[in-house]
Structure 1
């Protein structure tokens, strides 16, 4: 039994966790569960309204406290709570609340949960747009998927988003990184100290149930939150190019597409005659994934690692994806399916996996090995706790060693504080006039 003193943790989320809607929220929930296993006292706050699929945190013993942007009520709240750890979910929350945390709880360990590098994802999206504009008919994206880290840096370095995001990483005491590729990019190209970064991928318990066999499965499946731009682009690429190539070889094939927050533009793509089914949100993503024979994830841009592919491995479902989809996910281990750079190669690999039971079985087994090697909660959970405790014990020295972060906090927090106070005063005057 853990006999360490209870630690108070405050999580400030950009949104309330929705683990059945996005991998990012799923990762947050895995972190919260790891904290609960330590007996820690957890409060989750967000300035956002509750989403359709919000997790019931109170049922887990987690306190839920809504907060407001640019409102000094947060100051009294955090002063009374006095957390030992404050975890910002997405860098924008550090931008908004970091100065208040430092002012009222200066000894709290400030941790940023990144999910992915948003500036990297945005830069890759811009690169795809330019590529499609210059050569719209070419469906081979090999060159797009093969930039060196230095090229990624040069693509990102001039953007305001990268400057904001990486400044937030410096200002925090520790940053949880889901992708080892992003760690390498930050250390080698942006010059961040490695001590500020901790690899914390998706953390799962290995499945124990016997999966469905090849013969017991049918159809292709794609899944992902429609609010996430890479997922919407993947759906469009499937609709216009990849799926017609698959149907040419498998005329009776069906593709089932699931995703939270399905917009009308996605529903409009639903076409049963073409075997293209837009199914909206899945109540149980693992259930529908377990029934599918092959998972399709044709991601042409993105960052982090892909929850849908981890779910596929959990369900013993082989996947076909791109180098973007596979990035940082398998180390040197075989991919549980196929990685393709062109629409034609993607479709051919999907058809072969769907038809060839032996190849399908080899891919399924590769997925089980990959889960065991890289994603076990029993490995990453204790590693995270050990890292947090080490940071707490050495907080004063690590902050002295991170002078750049201290300098950025000094300048950013002062300007943000004055702006927030001005906005609050302006809002107050508006209410008084009303």
Structure 2
């Protein structure tokens, strides 16, 4: 009988699938490996939260670890995993050298979540009131850290084809180090729409997003200041409900019931809320990766109006499940048209199903991922030998990271 393969996931936070797309993404990864017989341990130095998922219910061992502590060395030596998955590049920076030192044969996988340097560069360009250019990425300090992390790992999971293109064309990353893995969901049939609330049973516009994520806060500001005045003038009875985990005081201050603008706070069940809404509004102006809220809208049979940044890399060349519009006034007009025209609304629903089935099928990607990671386990020496830049970065960068960490540990004692 084959011994179970061991996977250690080192989390930036404990997964909260009901709070963010990142939490949902992590649970999708866990399910792929769990369904294929992996023994999974999830470790994090983060504090427990009231909304974290029950990992034990998914058959995953939960372990608390410390930053800058040799106790991690003892832990990983005893666990001796075959694979280590880092949740975001910051975690690889903290723990990667310790993994190499104590379990050199373990395959190191980085889940980027999205390209942080892309989000940062876009946000900076937006605040400076100019168009984002690829050259902006090359001057970002976070890009230097993130790309170094990708190079040091055996494989990086990339959520967006647009980001795959950036990594290959702008940063010249070897394709052997990258694996395209979008959000993964089950197939939908048009008949599934009959199980969802119908057009006449739904009401209101909705936005949903975690407010710890800066692009979400900016989107709600944009809705309130630039889009809602146009929309409300043309459609006085319109109501927008804004849901999201961790709303700050500045978010709560936008609550204006007399103007049909409601800040609702955390959603107990985001899926149920989106199913009952008629339209999702997501005028996202900067960001990276794929937008979980827009895929969730498709799954709920809820058409959406978003921007070119919001829809980026999400639908190939398939028609959107609603409208893509960057101009605030045109955005408002198309949102009203979609809200009021049942035929247009139903056609948009069907477009969403086509996008789900052609772009996000779990079966299309999970087997290939497992094939790639298992082949890495068999041939890691050759794979690493050909990754000269990664070896170079390990040799130099890990020395500085290692000594800094050991200095902090000694200081803490």
Question: TM-score normalized by structure 2?
Answer: 0.97
Structure 1 partner of 2:140:
159
- Once the two structures are superposed, residues 282-338 of structure 1 have per-residue CA deviations (whole angstroms, 9 ceiling, x without a partner) of 111110000011101110000000000010000011111011100010011111111
> Do structure 1's residue 361 and structure 2's residue 346 form an aligned pair?
yes
> Do structure 1's residue 396 and structure 2's residue 381 form an aligned pair?
yes
Deviation at 1:4, TM superposition (A): 5.4
- Structure 1: state its 5+ residue gaps: 135-143, 429-434
Judge conservation of contact 1:115–1:304 (CA < 8 Å) in 2. Answer: yes
Structure 2 partner of 1:377:
362
> Do structure 1's residue 187 and structure 2's residue 178 form an aligned pair?
no
Moved over 6 A (4+): none
Structure 2 partner of 1:122:
120
- Once the two structures are superposed, residues 258-284 of structure 1 have per-residue CA deviations (whole angstroms, 9 ceiling, x without a partner) of 100111111111111111011111111
Structure 2 partner of 1:296:
281
Structure 2 partner of 1:79:
77
Structure 1 partner of 2:54:
56
In structure 2, relative to structure 1, the CA distance for the partners of 1:4 and 1:20 (3 Å cut) is: farther
Q: Could you say what secondary structure the match of 1:215 adopts?
A: helix
Deviation at 1:78, TM superposition (A): 0.1
Separation of aligned partners in 1, 2:177 and 2:264: 41
Q: 1:43 aligns with which of 41, 44, 57?
A: 41
- Once the two structures are superposed, residues 3-54 of structure 1 have per-residue CA deviations (whole angstroms, 9 ceiling, x without a partner) of 7541100000111111111101110110001111012110001111022310
How many residues of Structure 1 are paired with residues of Structure 2 in the alignment?
A: 409
Structure 1 partner of 2:95:
97
Structure 2 partner of 1:168:
149
Q: Could you say what secondary structure the match of 1:54 adopts?
A: coil
Judge conservation of contact 1:214–1:357 (CA < 8 Å) in 2. Answer: yes
Deviation at 1:102, TM superposition (A): 0.2
Structure 2 partner of 1:107:
105
Judge conservation of contact 2:112–2:156 (CA < 8 Å) in 1. Answer: yes
Structure 2 partner of 1:258:
243
> Do structure 1's residue 346 and structure 2's residue 331 form an aligned pair?
yes
- Structure 2: state its 5+ residue gaps: none
- Once the two structures are superposed, residues 92-117 of structure 1 have per-residue CA deviations (whole angstroms, 9 ceiling, x without a partner) of 00000000000000000000001100
Q: Could you say what secondary structure the match of 2:316 adopts?
A: coil
Structure 2 partner of 1:326:
311
Judge conservation of contact 1:206–1:314 (CA < 8 Å) in 2. Answer: no
Q: 2:322 aligns with which of 329, 337, 349?
A: 337
Judge conservation of contact 2:283–2:326 (CA < 8 Å) in 1. Answer: no
Deviation at 1:200, TM superposition (A): 0.5
Structure 1 partner of 2:68:
70
Q: Could you say what secondary structure the match of 1:201 adopts?
A: coil
Q: Which moved more, 1:352-361 or 1:70-79?
A: 352-361
Separation of aligned partners in 2, 1:129 and 1:50: 34
Q: How does 1:131-280 map to 2 (within 5 A)?
A: 131=129, 144=131, 151-152=133-134, 154-207=135-188, 208=192, 210-280=195-265
Deviation at 1:383, TM superposition (A): 2.0
Q: 1:416 aligns with which of 397, 401, 410?
A: 401
Q: Could you say what secondary structure the match of 2:108 adopts?
A: strand
Separation of aligned partners in 1, 2:49 and 2:261: 28
In structure 2, relative to structure 1, the CA distance for the partners of 1:4 and 1:258 (3 Å cut) is: farther
Q: Which moved more, 1:371-380 or 1:399-408?
A: 371-380
Q: Could you say what secondary structure the match of 2:53 adopts?
A: coil
Separation of aligned partners in 1, 2:271 and 2:6: 33
Separation of aligned partners in 2, 1:4 and 1:371: 35
- Superposed CA RMSD: 1.1
- Once the two structures are superposed, residues 324-370 of structure 1 have per-residue CA deviations (whole angstroms, 9 ceiling, x without a partner) of 10001001111111101111111111111001111111110000011
Separation of aligned partners in 2, 1:161 and 1:49: 25
Deviation at 1:57, TM superposition (A): 0.2
Separation of aligned partners in 1, 2:49 and 2:116: 21
Q: Could you say what secondary structure the match of 2:128 adopts?
A: helix
